[in-house]
Amino acid sequence: MNKHYRIDTNVIHTENKPDPDYGVVSTPIYPAVAYAFKDTDTASSVVSGEKNGIYYGRYGNPTNRRLERKVAQMEGGDDAIAVSSGMAAISISLLGVLQHGDHVLVTRDVYGGTFSFLSNLAPRFGIEYDYVDLTDIENIKGYIKENTKAVYIETPSNPRLTILDIDAIASICQYKNLKLIVDNTFMSPILQKPLKLGADIVVHSATKYINGHGDVLAGLVVGSKEEIKFMRKNIMGDLGQCLSAYDSYQILRGIKTLSIRMKKHCENAQKIAVYLEDHPMVESVYYPGLQSHKGHGLANKQMKDMGGIISFELKSNQYEEIGKDFIDSLRLAMISFSLGDPETLVQHPASMTHYSIPSKDLPKYGLSKSLIRLSVGLEDVDDIINDLAQAFKKIELKFNKVK
Ligand SMILES: *Cc1c(COP(=O)(O)O)cnc(C)c1O
C-alpha cells in the first residue's frame, strides 16, 4: 500500500508488481505444491519456521501470497491467509482464538453458516457460545463469563442490516481482554476497516464483493502476524482448507475493480432504497443509507458508504404469500442465495437462507414471510427500478383479484 496514493489507486496497484522475467502485469498463476531447496539445512529451517518460505502447497503458494498481502494492507492488518471459503475463514478465526472450555459472545443475527458451525461442530470441541443483542453494548458486560475469550460480530448484519458500533465494542473487548472478530463481507475493505476501529481479526467471504463475479468460493482472515502464522500452520494447514492458485488469480483480477464496483453498488442501492421507501405497498425498508434506519448515524460514522444490500418488507395484510409472489414476478433480478455480484440478486429469507426456522419463530429472528433481500447489482439503476415497478403492478393485480 502506497501512502501517497488513494484507495482507488491502491486497490489496483498494491502487490501488483510486474514479474521479473517478462514484465507481465497480471499476477502469474503458480499451481505449486512442491518446492526445491538447495540443501537439507535450508529445507529444515523453512519447515521449522526459522526461515521464511513456503515448503508445501497446503500452506500457501506465491499467487495466494500476493492476494493475502494485498488484502492485509487494504484492511490495515499485519498479515492474512487466503482460504477455501468464507466459512473456512470464519471457522479458522474461531478455532484460532478459542480452545476447549472457552466461551464466545456472538451477535444475534449472524450468517447462517456461522450459526450452524457454532450449533453443530463447536460444542464437540468444548466451545461455548451465547447469542447477544449487541446493539446494546452493555449486554457484553451482562453476558461475559469467566471463560469468555472472544466476541464475534457482523455489521451490517444479514438480512436486517443492523449496524453495530465496532469502536465501542472494541473498547470493551480491549478492557476485558477479549478478541474481537468482525465479518466484513457486506462492506469489503473499501467501505469499512474494522481493524482501524480496534477489532483484532477480520474475516471475509471473498466469494462475494471481493471477487465479485460469482465464480469463486474463497475466504480471507486478516490479523496479527502471530495469529495468522498459527492459523496457517495449525488450522488451515492441518485441516486442509487451502485455496488454489487459480482461484487466487481470479480474485486478484476481480479486486482491481472492487473500488469502482462498490461505488456503483452503493449508488444504485441508495436510489432503490429511496424508491422502495416511497412505495405504497412497502411496509419498511432496511438500508443504512436511509435517514429512517436505526443505525444511520452510526453507519455514517464507521462506514465510507452504505453498501449494496437492501432488505424490505411488503405490506402483508394484503395476502400471506406476497413476498414470494413479488420475487417470482421479477424478470431482471435473479433468485439466488448469493450476493455481491454484477447481477441484481434477490432472495426470500423465510423460505431460502433461513428456511430452517419454523414460520411461528420467524418474528424472534426479526424475519417475516414478506421480507425480501436484494443484492443490488451493477446494472443501470432505472432498469432495476422498472423491474421492481412491474412486479409491484403484477401483485397489485393479483391482490385485487383475491379481494
Ligand atoms: C456468504 C457469507 C459467508 C460465507 O461465505 P462462503 O464463501 O459462502 O463460505 C459468511 N458471511 C457472510 C456475511 C456471507 O454473506
Look up 331 and say whether it is catalytic: no
Closest residue CA from atom 13 of ligand 1: 185
Residue 26 contacts residue 203 (beta carbons within 8 Å): no
Q: State residue 402's pLDDT score.
A: 60
Residue 196 contacts residue 76 (beta carbons within 8 Å): yes
* Residue with the larger pLDDT of the pair 140 and 247: 247
C-alpha grid cell for residue 385? 427500478
What's the N-to-C CA distance of the chain in angstroms? 61
Q: What distance in angstroms lies between residue 87's CA and the mean position of ligand 1's atoms?
A: 6
Give the mean pLDDT of 92-97. 98
Q: What is the mean pLDDT of the chain?
A: 95
Give the mean pLDDT of 384-396. 96
Looking at the domain covering 7-30+61-255, what would its CATH class be? Answer: alpha beta
- Report the atom number in ligand 1 closest to the C-alpha of 87: 9
Residue 393 has pLDDT above 90, yes or no: yes
Look up 78 and say whether it is catalytic: no
The percentage of residues in the chain with a pLDDT greater than 90, rounded to a whole number, is: 87
Give the mean pLDDT of 153-159. 95
Q: State residue 19's pLDDT score.
A: 86
The percentage of residues in the chain with a pLDDT greater than 70, rounded to a whole number, is: 99
Q: Which residue from 83, 84, 85, 87 has its CB within 8 A of the most atoms of ligand 1, so it is best to mutate?
A: 87
Give the mean pLDDT of 6-27. 92
Closest residue CA from atom 4 of ligand 1: 86
Domain 258-402 in the same topology as domain 7-30+61-255: no
Q: State residue 128's pLDDT score.
A: 97
Cis peptide before 159 (omega within 30 of 0): yes
Residue 153 contacts residue 227 (beta carbons within 8 Å): no
Give the mean pLDDT of 196-205. 98
Count of other CB atoms within 10 angstroms of residue 334? 16
Alpha carbon distances (Å) from 151 to 172, 201, 297: 10, 10, 23
Q: What distance in angstroms lies between residue 390's CA and the mean position of ligand 1's atoms?
A: 31
CA 237, CA 250: separation in Å to the nearest integer?
Answer: 22
Q: Which residue from 106, 111, 338 has its CB within 8 A of the most atoms of ligand 1, so it is best to mutate?
A: 111
Closest residue CA from atom 1 of ligand 1: 205
Band (pLDDT 50/70/90 cuts) for residue 1 is confident
Closest residue CA from atom 8 of ligand 1: 86
Q: What distance in angstroms lies between residue 220's CA and the mean position of ligand 1's atoms?
A: 11
* Residue 29 DSSP label: P
Of 85-94, 135-144, 238-247, the range with the lowest mean pLDDT is 135-144
Q: State residue 186's pLDDT score.
A: 98
Give the mean pLDDT of 206-221. 98
Look up 19 and say whether it is catalytic: no
- Domain 258-402: homologous superfamily in CATH: Aspartate Aminotransferase, domain 1 (3.90.1150.10)
Band (pLDDT 50/70/90 cuts) for residue 25 is very high
The predicted-structure confidence for 294-353, as pLDDT tens digits, reads as follows 999 999 999 999 999 999 999 987 678 899 999 999 999 999 999 999 999 999 999 998
C-alpha grid cell for residue 254? 476481480
Q: State residue 403's pLDDT score.
A: 58
Sequence spans of domains, the chain: 7-30+61-255, 258-402
Closest residue CA from atom 5 of ligand 1: 86
Q: What distance in angstroms lies between residue 206's CA and the mean position of ligand 1's atoms?
A: 8
Q: State residue 214's pLDDT score.
A: 96
Q: What distance in angstroms lies between residue 146's CA and the mean position of ligand 1's atoms?
A: 30
Q: State residue 109's pLDDT score.
A: 84
Residue 90 contacts residue 113 (beta carbons within 8 Å): yes
